[in-house]
Amino acid sequence: MNEQEFAELAAGAAIDALSPDDQQRYHAALAAHPEWQRIVDADADSAGFLAEGVTRAAPSPDIRAALLARIAVTPQHGDIVLADSMPDATPDETTDAAPVTDSALAALGGEDAPKAPAHRLRFLFTLAACLALLVGVGAGAVAINTYINRPASVVALEDIQAADDAQQASVSLESGGTATAHWSASLGKSVLVTDGIPSLAEGETYELWYVRGDTPVSAGVFAADGGEATAVLAGEMHAGDVIAVTVEQDGGSPSGLPTSDPVVVIPTA
């Protein structure tokens, strides 16, 4: 993943608009390229600015006075009152204004002159408010659903990064990519993030291992999509474990022991 592709994902992450797959790619790329954190911070600042909206401003006193004057002389039964100039109107000047009836409107504009659809306007306003509410609720539901359905590896990585004793270490791969291990001894969790790891032949898979002294303990298998993967290691991590990856047959080593030399070795001590 290049920086431009990451920037597009970061913009979506800032407004909680990423799919679970894109969330995984986003976290994997950020873990592999911590220098891109500046993009995340900039997008977060922009999203916060947009959320704050425009600063409220007090209306002009003249506008308020004119509005109150118009309200004072407007009948509350749906008829329209015409004033020579609403901004200059005052209660004294418009007290004698007569309501405009349907016949008066017809005389001004003909038989087809529009009438005041007060009930229709109120209905449209209510409908618009309901639509706005539904849009807001729908967007919130999407954001909540996306958050709840995050992949387990992403949740584990976020938990580790939030821990007080969070640590990480990276190694370069022969393919030119990188592998980064994230772990927290207090949580007993670890996650491996790869960027540029080679794709495997059909019938093969990557298997994770905790190596304790001379004893390898299987920690699950994972596949790399386009060279990228974020995989949580199964089981509890012990202080001093070495995190390793080997290439095994589909489903993992049938013997429970590595059958090939490791392609990734990351000490945690």
User: How high is the pLDDT of residue 21?
Assistant: 78
In a domain, 122, yes or no: no
- The sign of the CA dihedral 180, 184, 185, 191 is negative
**Per-residue tens of pLDDT for the chain, all 269 residues:** 788 888 888 887 877 777 877 888 888 888 888 888 888 888 877 766 665 655 566 666 666 677 677 777 666 555 544 444 444 544 444 444 445 454 544 444 444 545 444 444 444 445 555 555 555 545 444 444 554 556 788 888 999 999 999 999 999 999 899 999 999 999 999 999 999 999 999 999 999 999 999 999 999 999 988 889 999 999 999 989 999 999 999 999 999 999 999 999 999 98
Domain boundary among 12, 35, 55: 55
Q: Is 130 among the domain residues? A: no
Give pLDDT, residue 192.
96
Number of structural domains in the chain: 2
CB atoms within 10 A of CB 112: 6
Q: Which of 11, 30, 55 is the last residue of a domain?
A: 55
The amino acid at residue 231 is A
Which pLDDT does position 90 carry in this prediction?
Answer: 47
Q: Determine, yes or no, domain membership for 215.
A: yes
| pLDDT value of residue 118 | 46
Cα separation of 17 and 47, whole Å?
12
Owner of token pair 């001590």 = 269
Is 250 a domain residue?
yes
In sequence order, the β-bridge partners of residue 267 are 242
Residue 262 inside a domain? The answer is yes
Q: Model pTM?
A: 0.51
Domain of residue 206: give its range.
Answer: 156-267
- Residue 62: Cβ-neighbour burial (10 angstroms; 0-12, 13-18, 19+): exposed
Strands 99-100, 189-195: pairing is unpaired
For residues 264 and 175, what is the distance between their CA atoms, to the nearest angstrom? 11
pLDDT at 181: 96
